[in-house]
Structure 1
Amino acid sequence: MIKPVKRIAAIHDLSGFGRASLTVIMPILSTMGIQVCPMPTAILSSHTGGFTGYSFVDLTDTMIDYKNHWKELNIDFDCIYSGFLGSTKQIDIISGFIDDFGTEENLVVVDPVMGDNGKLYDTMGTDMIESMKKLVSKADVITPNFTEAAYLLNKNCDLDISEEMIKEWLVELSHMGPNTVIITSVPEPKMSKNTSVIAYDRKSNKFWKVSCEYIPAHFPGTGDGFTSVIVGSLLQGDSLPIALDRGVQFITACIRASYGFDYPHREGVLLEKVLQNLNMPVMVSSYELI
């Protein structure tokens, strides 16, 4: 039986307040015409980016029940998509989920959320890094930021890095298993006002780059939004460079739509103001082959 719409298993945490993880992923992918089946890894009263005193419910054991019930229902997915994970046990559960639900046809996307700005998050240690490497080996697509790529490769987070060195990182990461590697927040030369997303496709042996002007503002959840657009775009049949272009353009629009408003940026970008952009014709303008 042919499904009327594509279906994704989205394995992420759920925060009641603040636009991040599932509260970003679900509206983006739904707007792109894709059914999202969430498997919450934890439930929080707010996300952790700038909030304190939040409530936290660990759903690790429930994830096992989720997986078993979905197996009984014989659900099939066009994509398995994971993000922030709170423990090595959760990584093991997702690894088993991929074994159970992964096929030759579906897409496995791992966003190895571990840190940013040259540092690991407080909940991350060397055991999580090593477990994440094993999960990465099962993925078709990974989307680490510059910091996460460095930790996966045991490299220094040197902001003065050449484009050729980034290309070496991309190839090395692809050798861990994924065919497509996308590194976000890649620093440009010191005199530049831009930041870049650079990707490598092993099958075609091509590198793609999309640059965007750096905007001096930090909003939690933009990484979740970017990867979600990439996932939705690929499932819609777009090529990798067009997916990159759409992801960068959408997140840039989110930040620009939010930056001028006087509100706490810890709440995330004003996603509601730009969701409709996802249904506009694709404006291919900025990707380049490097």
Structure 2
Amino acid sequence: MPTPRAAVIHDLSGFGRCSLTEVIPILSVMGVQCCPLPTAFLSTHTGGFTGFTFLDMTEELPKVAEHWKSLNLRFDAIYSGFLGSERQIGIVADFIRTFREPDTLVVVDPVMGDDGKPYQTYTPAMCAGMAHLAELADVITPNLTEAAFLLNRDYGDLLDGGRALHDEGALRRLAEELSLGGRRSVALTGAALSPGQTGAMCFDARTGRAEAVQTEFVAHPLHGTGDVFASVLTGALLRGDSLRDAAALAVEFIHDCAVRTVEQDLSLREGVDFEPLLGRLIGR
């Protein structure tokens, strides 16, 4: 059986675990050929570092896509993450339309913000563009903030003043609403059914069912966990896992990596210490 091949459209940071420095090793160890399409190169990631360099790769994206098209390359998955401009969002949408085939898995991690606020590089136009891009996805992996942006709703109203944070029914309805009437699957991250827990609420478009996966919350801010989650999820889906099982594996893996990072008193701004635990993803 041929090795699954994924086109991964993310930024690349030379230092700090996030985006492609997490996506490539995770997908590779899970048996997926990773074909990176970098949207930008940074000297470090932007969480906790200052003075970082930034090289915009927007002009290269369509050139790479055109070359890959001339080679008649085919992808079992297309997986996108953080994008640097409104124009890049349109380019990625064109890439999906060009390379998608009936059995291609399209995963969009609609990276836009956290804690109720957009990232400083994201404008309202970019948030609207990301919502349109996500309409092309088979699976989306938003956090609660990004869910509000995708639905064009106020973050506070979405959480009902915080009352919906641990309400399983409310989180299930939110995942179902994000599915656009069952047209796409959803893994809503940061969905905790009770204090001291964290995890995901999943809506599987194939079964029409919503299920939660939970683990113990590690009370430290760690960078790059969203990229780890979406990457493990994508790798597991490509090897045939159900959405619920794929999300459960991702939640479990992040928890173990977070515990390792905290127990060793490692620098939190460098990202979650995942490399020594990659073997846990082999053959699962």
TM-score interval, normalised by the smaller of the two chains: over 0.9
By how many angstroms is 1:176 displaced? Answer: 7.2
8 Å CA contact 1:8–1:78 kept in 2: the answer is: yes
> Aligned partners of 1:212 and 1:53: how far apart in 2?
36
Q: Residue in 1 aligned with 2:272?
A: 269
* 2:91 counterpart residue number: 93
Q: Which runs of 4+ in 1 moved over 4 A?
A: none
Give the aligned partner of residue 258 of structure 2. Answer: 255
Map 1:119-268 onto structure 2 (within 5 A): 119-157=117-155, 158=159, 159-161=162-164, 162-175=167-180, 178-189=183-194, 192-268=195-271
Deviations for 1:38-75, whole angstroms, at most 9, x for unmatched residues? Answer: 00000000000111000000000100111110001110
* TM-score, normalisation: structure 1: 0.92
- Structure 1 residue 85, shift from structure 2 partner: 0.5
Shift of 1:264: 1.6
Q: Deviations over 1:139-184 (max 9, x none)?
A: 0000001111012112333332032222222222111785201100
SS in 2 for 1:40: coil
CA distance change for structure 1 residues 266 and 245 in 2, over 3 Å: closer, same or farther?
Answer: same
Q: Which moved more, 1:83-92 or 1:162-171?
A: 162-171
Per-residue Cα deviation, 1:213-269 (whole angstroms, up to 9, x for no partner): 111111111110111000000101111121111111111111011111223211011
Judging changes above 3 Å, is the alpha-carbon distance between structure 1 residues 49 and 176 closer, same or farther for their aligned structure 2 residues?
farther
Q: Which residue of 1 aligns with 2:15?
A: 17
Measure, in 2, the Cα distance between the counterparts of 1:218 and 1:99.
36
Classify the secondary structure of the residue corresponding to 1:45: strand
Do the aligned partners of 1:139 and 1:177 also contact (CA within 8 Å) in 2?
no
Following superposition, the deviation at residue 202 of structure 1 comes to 2.5
TM-score, normalised to structure 2, is 0.94
1 CA distance for matches of 2:225 and 2:280? 16
Identity over aligned residues, as a percent?
47
Q: Give the secondary-structure state (helix, strand or coil) at the position aligned to 2:94.
A: helix
Distance in 1, Cα, partners of 2:217 & 2:80: 27
**What residue identity is the alignment partner of 1:185?**
G
Deviation at 1:187, TM superposition (A): 3.9
Q: Quick check: 2:198–2:214 contact (8 Å CA) kept in 1?
A: yes
Match of 1:29 among 10, 27, 30: 27
Q: Which runs of 5+ in 2 are unaligned?
A: none
In structure 2, how many angstroms separate the alpha carbons of the residues matched to 1:177 and 1:36? 29
